[in-house]
Amino acid sequence: MTNQMHPPFSNRTSVVRLPIPHGLRMALPASDKAELALAQVLAGDAVPRLNVDQLAEQLTSTQGHAVLGAPASWTDTQLRWAYAVLLRQLGSLNGRYGKLFDVVDQGLDHTTTNAPVSKTKAATGMHTDSSDARYNPDLVGLLCLHPGSRGGESLLASAIEMLERLKQRHPELESVARTPWPRDVVTPGLAQDLAAIEANAIPVFAQDEHGPVFRYMRYWTERAMAKLGQPIPVQLTRLFDFIDADMADNALNFRLKRGDILLVNNRLVVHGRGAFEDAPGAARRCLVRAWVDGFVDSHGERLPLRA
């Protein structure tokens, strides 16, 4: 069943926190069996059935996010297992970067290469995930294994609330937001020549059969246009400036701790992080990212049956 998303407009000033499903705690494998259990979950084997109705409802609201806190005492593998089982209730795990992708600083520079910002320690800027016009994950998950030493705060902002403010203050920019603009191609395995970049055009705001879709990556859009030798229209810069300023004024700013699972509706919510530093000798900052497909097609069904 498809559930049209018409989220209520509201003003929330703190992150939404929900409890870890009781079924996860009851089914947690012992530490010496967690690695095998995780491999089976990632391979598509059956998983415990959980009640995630409240979570699904929250992810389709204007806030479009939730943080669930698993016990910090669980091992890294037990946390990964719990994370994967939870996500399997909501859709299927996408494997473009691996079903579970460790977001750690690999010493790369996204400004001089096509490296994703997720492989650096830089601030990401507010964005939605996926630079590919042909693919947009429904949900983005981030599991915090190690929060790091300094920085790396998480940021969230509602695209739907921002669009309402754009319509009220700068209605002339809405058509600019709904125009496809080229975005640089950085996904591994895809052609990255000028023709591919030009074809990779994405509107900031769109509408499909499920409701609104917001896709925002200012850096990759401006870099694509520079590569193509196209001047950035004044109205597009005005739109980007408004979006950035609005999100800076209205974003939630918080720090994840070990065991926290952040789930974000990638169609309705923009996320980002601050720059961070890993202290010598300390555990490196590590978040485990996952992309979930199929949520908008299936979240109206009784979700435990998806297992």
Q: What is the pLDDT along the chain (307 residues), one digit of tens a residue?
A: 233 333 333 445 689 999 999 999 999 999 999 999 999 999 999 999 999 999 999 999 888 999 999 999 999 999 999 999 999 999 999 998 899 999 987 666 566 666 667 777 778 889 999 999 999 999 999 999 999 888 789 999 999 999 999 999 999 999 999 999 999 998 777 778 999 999 999 999 999 998 999 999 999 999 999 999 999 999 999 999 999 999 999 999 999 999 999 999 999 999 999 888 878 888 889 999 999 999 987 654 444 434 3
- Strand, helix or coil for residue 81: helix
Cα separations in angstroms, 145 against 69, 72, 79, 103, 193: 11, 9, 8, 10, 37
Check residue 301 and give its pLDDT.
Answer: 46
Check residue 109 and give its pLDDT.
Answer: 55
Ramachandran sector of residue 112 (left: φ over 0; alpha: ψ -120 to 50; beta: rest): alpha
The CATH number of the domain covering residues in 17-306: 3.60.130.10
Question: Distance between CA atoms of 107 and 121, rounded to whole angstroms?
Answer: 8
Question: Distance between CA atoms of 24 and 27, rounded to whole angstroms?
Answer: 5
Question: Distance between CA atoms of 247 and 172, rounded to whole angstroms?
Answer: 19
| Tokens 């096509």, residue located | 114
Check residue 105 and give its pLDDT.
Answer: 73
Give Cβ neighbours of residue 25 (< 8 Å, ≥ 6 apart): none
Check residue 201 and give its pLDDT.
Answer: 97
Check residue 187 and give its pLDDT.
Answer: 79
* Helix, strand, coil fractions of the chain, as percent rounded to 5: 30, 20, 50
Check residue 72 and give its pLDDT.
Answer: 97
Check residue 119 and give its pLDDT.
Answer: 75
φ, ψ of residue 85 in degrees (nearest 5): -65, -45
| Cut 0.95: pTM above it | no
Question: Distance between CA atoms of 264 and 58, rounded to whole angstroms?
Answer: 10
Check residue 62 and give its pLDDT.
Answer: 84
Partner residues linked to 290 by β-bridges? 141
Check residue 232 and give its pLDDT.
Answer: 97
